[in-house]
Amino acid sequence: MAADGFVIKAFDEVTSTNDVAAEYAARSAGQRLVITARRQTAGRGRRGRSWQSLDGNLFFSMLFEFPLKDLGVLIMAASLSLAEAVRSLVNTDDVRIKWPNDVLLNGAKVSGMLLEKSIGEYMIVGVGVNVAQSPKNADMLYPVTSLKEAGTDISPEDFLALYLRYFSINIALSADELRRQWVEQAKGIGQEIAVRQNGAEQRGIFAGIDENADLILRTGNKTQKILAGDVFYLGDENG
């Protein structure tokens, strides 16, 4: 099946769809693939964390050639598309992007994304969407939710098709336009946040993102760019 220029390869069970995408990248050049799986036995999250594969949720990885110098465009287009796809399905306005590329629905995480560089110019955009259920462990870093919990019933396949339509439109936008739309839909711009990275924490005002999608943090009259980390919203009881 082809969707918006991507050939979809659907599996029942894989370790991680990102791993399968990397194997395809090694085989031959010029492929534009989406790898999906009903189950992942070793799903990976950002910053070395694992990603649980709960039944009925969506797990997929897009594989295509994209210049690394334009990584910011990819991060913005991929996360903006997720937020737009979610927003088009739910009957609440409370859909926000959480830097760098999570989507929050009613203040809780509904999807996550793991971008990885593969061989040559291949990029892998791995996405997990809590379609049917959300993990309920007590040690979650953030509150989590699912589309189902927000009253939306959709199959993983239909959500993927919707997402690919938004992505094919957004990836063609300029970096400036993507940044404008991303900032408009992000949570916490102009507010105090903490960014945690490797045990260290920095606090400041979330001033926006630059063209590389790096976070701009303002502390007093000092501005710094943050390339990686976990954001917590201060003054938000859920963090």
Instruction: Name the residues that contact ligand BTN, by CB under 6 A.
Output: 16-18, 40, 43-46, 49, 51, 59-61, 102, 112-114, 126-128
Tokens found for residue 144: 């989590």
State the amino acid at position 198 in one-letter form: N
We find the least distance from the C-beta atom of residue 53 to ligand BTN, in angstroms, to be 7
Distance CA 182, CA 79 (A): 8
Catalogue the long-range contacts made by 90-98 (C-beta closer than 8 Å, 24 or more residues apart).
90/147, 90/150, 90/151, 90/152, 91/151, 92/150, 95/185, 96/185, 96/186, 96/187, 97/182, 97/185, 97/186, 97/187, 98/186, 98/187, 98/188, 98/231
- Residue with nearest beta carbon to ligand BTN: 112
DSSP 42: S
Which one, 118 or 220, has the nearer CB to ligand BTN?
118
Which one, 49 or 225, has the nearer CB to ligand BTN?
49
We find the least distance from the C-beta atom of residue 92 to ligand BTN, in angstroms, to be 21
Which one, 40 or 181, has the nearer CB to ligand BTN?
40
We find the least distance from the C-beta atom of residue 165 to ligand BTN, in angstroms, to be 19
We find the least distance from the C-beta atom of residue 225 to ligand BTN, in angstroms, to be 21
Distance CA 87, CA 67 (A): 29
We find the least distance from the C-beta atom of residue 111 to ligand BTN, in angstroms, to be 8
The residue assigned the tokens 């920095």 is 202
Distance CA 239, CA 228 (A): 17
Which one, 1 or 42, has the nearer CB to ligand BTN?
42
Which one, 103 or 193, has the nearer CB to ligand BTN?
103
Please provide residue 26's backbone torsions phi and psi, each rounded to the nearest 5 degrees: -75, -20
Greatest Cα pair distance, the chain, in angstroms, is 53
We find the least distance from the C-beta atom of residue 4 to ligand BTN, in angstroms, to be 18
DSSP 170: H
Which one, 24 or 221, has the nearer CB to ligand BTN?
24
Which one, 148 or 218, has the nearer CB to ligand BTN?
148
We find the least distance from the C-beta atom of residue 222 to ligand BTN, in angstroms, to be 29
